[in-house]
Chain A
């Protein structure tokens, strides 16, 4: 029989992940985000819950990838996800920036002084 001891940290992290997950579902219902985005974020939060309760999972992945410590897998994954998100935000910002210019330009050309 496996005895799982739950630390306060685990409870806090899981509560946070569940809260985040509920926000994802809520935002999907309000159609503020696309299904694809909701899927991505659900995956992130569910993965977090799994890793918190079953640290063995991270250890298992660490073994496959040849990374020494289980915690390192989590940290590396988090960094990769963060970089990816920053890049997406950057692309998005560039697009919005360009769209603003298009609007400003249209107005400027229409109104010659």
Chain B
């Protein structure tokens, strides 16, 4: 079972080495870091940790970075691809839980949901999350309790089929849309979220949602 872990990172020098070491200590070695045009030491640190590093020459946003990560990971023919945030909010222990439904053949796409056990999540984030879920459901007909989660797992087949076109944060909804379009089985598993002052500060601001909404609606109109 070959596993590939993708970490999109944009200016995450404060947390990236901790995240990478956490993964390596759990025995995950096949790590692809996509440095999304960081202007800090992120690529330097990632390289020192001995991961496969792909650098965007300019910042393209989360969707752009995830697309690059998936394309790069697929070159090595992994069985499963996992995406994980670089800000340290995910617990590497959850990866095992995340990939289990794929190994068992119960799902093609697994989303690690923070909302099945939302303790510690700030109230404003919970509200923003619910709105994001509702909009994803409204536009794409997929209801997921945490549509904006960064911890995901894909079977190789799913990763090949999902075609990422968006550049920004709207990619989370786009992935679900693509999964539905390709009749992939989606499953959610509860994950632990580590909320630190840093990850809250780095996280999406609530008004960011409006931008994402606008893009999603326009995209829907254009297709």
CA distance A109 to B34 in the complex (A): 10
With an 8 A cutoff between CB atoms, is A69 at the interface?
Answer: no
CA distance A111 to B72 in the complex (A): 11
The smallest C-beta distance from B81 to any residue of chain A, in angstroms, reads: 15
CA distance A105 to B165 in the complex (A): 12
With an 8 A cutoff between CB atoms, is A36 at the interface?
Answer: no
Contact B71 A101 (CB under 8 A): no
Contact A105 B67 (CB under 8 A): yes
- Binary contact track A72-113/B, C-beta < 8 Å → 1, others 0: 000000000000000000110010011011001101110111
Q: Which residues of A contact B75 (CB under 8 A)?
A: 109
CA distance A26 to B56 in the complex (A): 39
- Binary contact track B160-190/A, C-beta < 8 Å → 1, others 0: 0000010100000000000000000000000
Contact B53 A105 (CB under 8 A): no
Q: Which residues of B contact A109 (CB under 8 A)?
A: 54, 68, 71-72, 75
Q: Which residues of B contact A104 (CB under 8 A)?
A: 37, 56-58, 60, 64, 68
Q: Which residues of A contact B37 (CB under 8 A)?
A: 104
* Other-chain contact of B57, A90, A97, A108 (Cβ < 8 Å): A108
CA distance A43 to B53 in the complex (A): 53
How many A-B residue pairs have C-beta atoms within 8 angstroms? Tell me. Answer: 53
Main secondary structure of the interface of B (DSSP, over half): mixed
CA distance A107 to B68 in the complex (A): 10
* Other-chain contact of A111, B55, B58, B64 (Cβ < 8 Å): B55
CA distance A45 to B71 in the complex (A): 48
CB nearest to B71 among chain A residues: A109
What are 25 inter-chain pairs, A to B, with CB distance below 8 A? A90-B218, A98-B165, A100-B58, A101-B60, A101-B63, A101-B67, A104-B56, A104-B57, A105-B56, A105-B60, A105-B64, A107-B56, A107-B57, A108-B34, A108-B54, A108-B55, A108-B57, A108-B72, A109-B54, A109-B71, A112-B53, A112-B72, A113-B43, A113-B47, A113-B55
Residues of chain A having any CB pair with chain B under 8 Å: 90-91, 94, 97-98, 100-101, 104-105, 107-109, 111-113
18 additional A-B residue pairs with CB within 8 Å, beyond A94-B218, A101-B167: A97-B167, A101-B60, A101-B63, A104-B37, A104-B64, A105-B56, A105-B60, A108-B34, A108-B56, A108-B57, A108-B68, A109-B71, A109-B72, A111-B55, A112-B54, A113-B47, A113-B53, A113-B55
9 pairs of A and B residues whose beta carbons are closest in the complex = A108-B54, A113-B53, A101-B64, A105-B68, A104-B56, A101-B60, A108-B68, A108-B56, A109-B72
